[in-house]
């Protein structure tokens, strides 16, 4: 059954990808030694002074560390939940539509924002939520005092999560819609004949039919739990919302690129990588257990 030469062909095709991976992801990893050094760019990473865990000690003394770690997890978890549930509900609703043309149009329109970069979208969002922007005008019509949304640390995480879900849900909907098409229509007919209402059919036929997809997506997204979205937050935040909006990536950016604290930034980045690695391993094990999803 196995054809050796056919496999070699595949490996050849894999080669460019592997080279890319080694060059851009494996080789640079040697740089993590910076986290244990007082990095001196003139001396390079092999000759800089070793200082052991000093960077990590300082990192844990900083009150910022706890804040950014909490913010990162909080925002990322909310995003994961939002990005699972909203597209699911939306896909189920779309699936119930009878007019195919409406379905196609809606589907296309809601996934358009996915293709816009956060640099552009953040500009739009800042205007929409501005003190004299459309949202405040609408609120004003109901007698609500204008709110300065981007100055409110208590609202910031939700604006971030909300806008991210709004941007991405159309795209994720497609995955669910694809899964929905794989359900055998005979099941619906049988259920209808047995007298199941629409809601019942949804509950007993549709949902069980796509459970595997839901679990798989949920479990795989765990690996992203420390990626709260650098571009989005970087383009929207300001000092007033640092307390609830500053995440590991923005912190690393400021420490490393703006303040020249290379070693400290690397240490924080390393911490993030280690935690992410553990989460990915766990999520892989869960995926293999519940959704029978295996890579190796």
Partner 1 sequence: MKATKNGLLLLLAVLLIALTACTSTNQPSNGGSTNEGLGAAAGNDEPTAAAETADPFGKYESPVTINVGQANDPTDNSLPQGDTPENNQYTRHIKEQLNIDTKIIWRTATGKDYDQKVNLSIASDDLPDLVIVNDAQLRQMVKAGQVEDLTETFEKYASPAIKGIIEKTEGRALDAVTFDGKMMALPNVTARGDAVHTMWIRKDWLDKLGLEVPKTVEDLEKVAKAFAQGDPDGNGQPDTIGIAGQQAGGKLYANFLASSNNTFGLDPIFSAFNAYPGFWLEGEDGKPVYGSIQPQVREALAKLRDMYASGAIDRELSIRKDAAEPVVSGKAGIFFGPFWMGYWPLPDAIKNDPKANWQSYALPLDKNGEFSPHMATPSTQFLAVRKGYEHPEAALKLMNLLVRDEAKFDVSVTLNHYPVRIVYAPVDEIEYSLNALKEVLAGTKTAADLDIPGYKLLADDASKVGKAKLEPFDNNDIQYWNTDDIGTWSRMYSIFVGGAPLLEPRNEVYSLVYSQTKTMESRWANLEKLETETFLKIIMGAAPIETFDKFVEDWKKQGGDKVTQEVEEEVKG
Looking at the DSSP assignment, which residues form a beta bridge with residue 91? none
Q: Give the pairing type, strands 37-38 and 49-50.
A: antiparallel
Looking at the DSSP assignment, which residues form a beta bridge with residue 38? 49
Gap between the Cα atoms of 40 and 10, Å rounded: 44
Q: Does residue number 264 form part of the binding site for partner 1 (CB under 8 A)?
A: yes
Give me the half-sphere count of Cα atoms (radius 13 Å) on the Cβ side of residue 119: 0
Binding mask 83-122 for partner 1 (x = CB under 8 A): ----------------------------------------
Give the residue with the Cβ less far from partner 1, 93 or 153: 153
Chain centroid to Cα 206, Å, comes to 26
Give the residue with the Cβ less far from partner 1, 45 or 92: 45
Q: For residue 282, report the phi and psi dihedrals to the nearest 5 degrees.
A: -60, -45
Residue 49: enclosing H or E segment and its boundaries?
strand 49-50
Give the residue with the Cβ less far from partner 1, 94 or 121: 121
Q: Does residue number 123 form part of the binding site for partner 1 (CB under 8 A)?
A: yes
Minimal distance, residue 17 CB to partner 1, in Å: 16
SS3 state at 139: helix
> Which residues within the stretch 126-185 sit at the binding site for partner 1 (CB under 8 A)?
126, 130-132, 148, 150-153
- The neighbour count for residue 70, using CB atoms within 10 Å, is 12
Give the residue with the Cβ less far from partner 1, 83 or 244: 244
Q: Does residue number 36 form part of the binding site for partner 1 (CB under 8 A)?
A: no
Six token digits for residue 177: 């819609």
> Which residues within the stretch 41-60 sit at the binding site for partner 1 (CB under 8 A)?
41-46, 58
Helices 207-221 and 262-290: crossing angle, nearest 10°?
150
- The neighbour count for residue 138, using CB atoms within 10 Å, is 10
- Kindly indicate which of the ranges 68-76, 163-171, 204-212, 228-236 contains the residues binding partner 1, using the contact rule CB under 8 A: 228-236
Q: By rule CB under 8 A, what count of residues binds partner 1?
A: 56
> Which residues within the stretch 178-217 sit at the binding site for partner 1 (CB under 8 A)?
none
> Which residues within the stretch 244-263 sit at the binding site for partner 1 (CB under 8 A)?
249, 252-262
Q: Rule CB under 8 A: which residues touch partner 1?
A: 23-25, 27-32, 34, 39-46, 58, 62-64, 123, 126, 130-132, 148, 150-153, 230-231, 234, 238-240, 242-243, 249, 252-262, 264-266, 269
């Amino acid at each position: 059954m196995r054809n050796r030469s056919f496999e070699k062909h595949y490996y050849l095709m894999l080669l460019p990808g592997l080279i890319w991976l080694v060059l851009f992801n494996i080789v640079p990893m040697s740089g993590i030694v910076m986290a244990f050094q007082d990095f001196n760019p003139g001396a390079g990473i092999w000759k800089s002074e070793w200082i052991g865990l000093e960077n990590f000690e300082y990192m844990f003394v900083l009150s910022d560390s706890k804040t950014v770690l909490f913010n990162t997890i909080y925002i990322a978890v909310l995003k994961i939940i939002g990005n699972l549930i909203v597209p699911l509900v939306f896909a189920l609703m779309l699936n119930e539509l009878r007019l195919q043309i409406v379905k196609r149009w809606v589907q296309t329109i809601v996934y358009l924002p996915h293709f816009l970069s956060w640099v552009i979208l953040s500009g739009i969002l800042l205007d929409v939520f501005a003190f004299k922007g459309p949202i405040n005008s609408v609120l004003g019509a109901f007698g609500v005092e204008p709110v300065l949304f981007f100055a409110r640390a208590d609202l910031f995480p939700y604006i971030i999560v909300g806008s991210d879900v709004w941007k991405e849900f159309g795209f994720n909907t497609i995955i669910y819609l694809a899964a929905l098409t794989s359900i055998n229509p005979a099941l619906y007919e049988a259920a209808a004949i047995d007298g199941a209402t629409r809601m019942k059919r949804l509950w007993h036929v549709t949902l069980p039919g796509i459970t595997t997809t839901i679990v798989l997506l949920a479990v795989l997204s765990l690996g992203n739990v420390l990626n709260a979205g650098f571009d989005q937050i970087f383009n929207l935040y300001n000092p007033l919302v640092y307390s609830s909006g500053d995440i590991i990536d923005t912190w690393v950016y400021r420490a490393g690129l703006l303040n020249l604290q290379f070693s400290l930034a690397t240490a924080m980045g390393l911490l993030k990588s280690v935690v992410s690695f553990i989460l990915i391993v766990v999520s892989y094990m869960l995926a293999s257990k519940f959704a029978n999803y295996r890579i190796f």
